[in-house]
Structure 1
Amino acid sequence: MADGVLEIDDSSFDKEVLQADIPVLVDFWAPWCGPCKAIAPTVEALAKEFSANIKFTKCNVDENPITPGKYGIRAIPTLIFFNKGEVADQITGMVAKAKLEDAINKLILISEGK
């Protein structure tokens, strides 16, 4: 597990994501995926910066096919932002850190009811 990013699987998804007390970002990835490797350091940096407000997780789609199938993941990396067990936002592909920061800040506002 990378610093601040929790590795989850099909069996822990409900507990770690859907039942979480705070918003959760799930990074759906695979070890062979170049863009997944490229975005990982950005996600890890954001995890350090926003860990007080958001739980950061990653789910290997090769080892855990049920959860990605449930959420219609067709391309990776896909980052899904959850608030109170519901999908609040989704970003697919390699994107700039600023775009992820914007999505995180929006998620924090949603979770605070603003």
Structure 2
Amino acid sequence: MAMNEVGNSNFWTTVLKHEQPVVVAFWATWCGACKATMPAVSELGDQGLPIYTVNVGNEPAIAYEYGVTAAPTLKVFDQGKVVKTITGRKTKQELESELAEFL
């Protein structure tokens, strides 16, 4: 499953109305930790967990709305509510451990 970029035009309908838990990865092109973490995030999508991305440089309003102050930040949304937040550089194993209940 590929990661899909979302923004102001579709975030609210795509993420908040999703019927199962989804991960939103807030990232930035200038972020070294994002470049290291995003391949592992993508691999989680291959395990069936829906993954969406928000480029905080392009979508600052969404980042602000959800209190994102560091990149990368992953937020798990379930039925429109944030149920888990993970911040910082993570390995695939760390992400699998922290997201095990949703995989």
Indicate the residue corresponding to 1:68 in structure 2.
63
- Taking the aligned partners of 1:46 and 1:25, their CA distance within structure 2 comes to 9
Say whether the 8 Å CA contact 1:35–1:93 is kept in structure 2.
yes
- Taking the aligned partners of 1:55 and 1:45, their CA distance within structure 2 comes to 11
Could you state the TM-score of these two structures normalised by the residue count of structure 2? 0.92
Unaligned 5+ runs, structure 1: 109-114
Indicate the residue corresponding to 1:9 in structure 2.
7
Could you state the TM-score of these two structures normalised by the residue count of structure 1? 0.84
Question: What whole-Å deviation, never above 9, does each CA across 1:65-106 have from its counterpart, x for those lacking one?
Answer: 111000111110000011111111001100232221123222
Which sits farther off after the overlay, 97-106 or 65-74?
97-106
Indicate the residue corresponding to 1:27 in structure 2.
25
From the two aligned structures, give the one with the greater helix fraction: 1
Indicate the residue corresponding to 1:45 in structure 2.
43
Structure 1 residues 31-110: aligned runs within 5 Å: 31-49=29-47, 51=48, 54-108=49-103
Indicate the residue corresponding to 1:111 in structure 2.
none
- Taking the aligned partners of 2:58 and 2:72, their CA distance within structure 1 comes to 15
Percent identical residues: 37
Unaligned 5+ runs, structure 2: none
Larger Rg: 1
Say whether the 8 Å CA contact 1:83–1:107 is kept in structure 2.
no
Aligned residues: 103
Q: Secondary structure at the match of 1:9?
A: coil
- Taking the aligned partners of 1:107 and 1:83, their CA distance within structure 2 comes to 10
Aligned structure 1 segments of 4 or more residues deviating by more than 3 angstroms:
none
- Taking the aligned partners of 2:60 and 2:22, their CA distance within structure 1 comes to 19
State the Cα distance separating 1:30 from its structure 2 match: 0.6
Question: What whole-Å deviation, never above 9, does each CA across 1:11-32 have from its counterpart, x for those lacking one?
Answer: 2111111000111100000111
